[in-house]
Structure 1
Amino acid sequence: MLSVNTTQSRPSAFILIGIPGLEAAHIWISLPFCGMYITACIGNCIILYVIKTDRSLHEPMYYFLSMLAATDLVLSTSISPKMLAIFWFNSREIYFESCFIQLFFIHCFSFIESGVFLAMAFDRYVAICNPLRHSVILSTPVIIRIGLVILIRGMVLTIADCFLLIRLPFCSNKVISFSYCGLGNVSKLACADTLINTVYAVTVSVLVGGFDVTFIALSYIMILRVVFRFPSRAACLKAFSTCSSHVCVILMFCMLGLFTYLTNRFGHIIPLYVQVIVANLYILVPPMFNPIVYGVKTKQIRSHVLRIICFHRS
């Protein structure tokens, strides 16, 4: 009897639908998603290679950028292979353990990405508002500690989410109307009260998101106050150019995250296929977008990439 109950409470696998209602168009839908994933992989690998090989880029700004690139690689890879397998081969089954591993990586590295953006905003604040002490305040040991704090925060918060979810019994319905295992989608299949899970997930998301966004905004407000006091117009433009790439990627991440939250929150008035597409874009667009922005806006990275291209052509 114990084995029967265990089997009932923990299914061996779930079924991922993909994009509900658009199953006939999965092949065509897969093309832009595949393109975004390939672009994200190539772009972020280039960023990591350039920062590793160019010693002039061994500075706090580029260390944080390499953290962002590594995070983007993990985040996009956490959903793309399985999602493309659904679209191309109709491989919809995902094992229970694999589903929770995917869920963990998605939510953990979303928290990590938010933390890295906060660290990058702090780096820009120190570089512009206190440039003489920049290398002292953000020394290599300090950067390592910041990276560890960001990693541990994401892991601890997500492990608690997974623990609260995995303890629940699951119903006979194993169908997830999504293309990946998300926290909310899996919890809907539980045959128990999920109020504690919902309260914890919402509270953590609001507190972490609110904390990070608030301090990112404060950093850039203080940066603007200092920049507008610069006596030289050229110095102002240089400061704005340095910060513009950070602002672009942060706005992209925050707007997509907010839109994803709103589509899930008001799902009764938004078609399910729209919710799924937006959720996929939230995971795939920032990892594709970030290396393009930094490659174009950061002179050192752009010149290094151009040197590599010219060398191979010659």
Structure 2
Amino acid sequence: MEKEIVLSVKRLSKKIGKKTIVQNINFDITKGEVFGLIGPNGAGKTTIIRAIVSLIHRSSGTVMINGKSVADDFKTTIADVGGIIENPEFYMYLSGMENLKQFARMSRKPVSPERINEVVAQVKLTNAINNKVKTYSLGMRQRLGLAQALIHQPSLLVLDEPTNGLDPQGMAEFREIIRSISSQGTAVLISSHLLAEIQQITDRFAIIEKGRLTHIEDMQQVNGGSTPTYLFKVADVALAEGVLRQLNYPFSLDDAAYIQVNTAEDQIPAIIQEFVAHDVAIFEVSAKKVSLEERFFQLTEGGNV
């Protein structure tokens, strides 16, 4: 069964004078998917996002949200979008709740008090929501920005560099919230130059190089694909090789002390039991993952973008 497409971008380009900023951008995002745009600063990520939500004029191309053209029916389509395109702005002298109530009054969709409380809990601000925003940390303001973007129950959430300036705890909290949002069916478009963050949060990613979309890849492929790779550090490599040959497991040498085995996770206990039964001493077992940074350099010929 095909997944429902929430956002469809076709042949999107933006020119300023004679200069082409982004050219011929094409991608779709499905319901409940987290899709990342990655690339260095100045690659065109923010331009793409701003063009999608019509903060800037598109020179050419189409943007469809839930099957409707943004150009043909702006009010209806944009009502299904929530976003943090730049740093979220608030009335600092008001509480978080007062800010959300003000945004709710401006929403094109009716927003009930129950919905506001639901979103406040979702972004983990229940204990601080009645405090003035000027007392909030950066991470709390980012989460309040998420609440603001979500109160009208959008089908598409658009985030441009949302974790900039956050500490590790703030980033971890943000990732958890985004995963919760996507699990409820909201499609998420997120741009970042922080590749480690994108690897942990997205289902697919697109690389933007000098205004062009050059690659789209499933994050599962970066994280090991359908058959992951495991590294066994053993005392006797030759003995371990003999055991694996008897079991018909495909393997290779990663270096002098590690054996690399391609197998499903549920097979690892059986391999360990066989190693122990044949007196193969095991020092370490770990899943081998290529970092998104490594994959980025592979796809961009050394990262020269």
Tell me which protein shows more strand as a share of its residues: 2
Answer with 1 or 2: which has the greater Rg: 2
Same fold, judged at TM 0.5 (above): no
Which is bigger in relative contact order (C-alpha 8 A, separation at least 6)?
A: 1
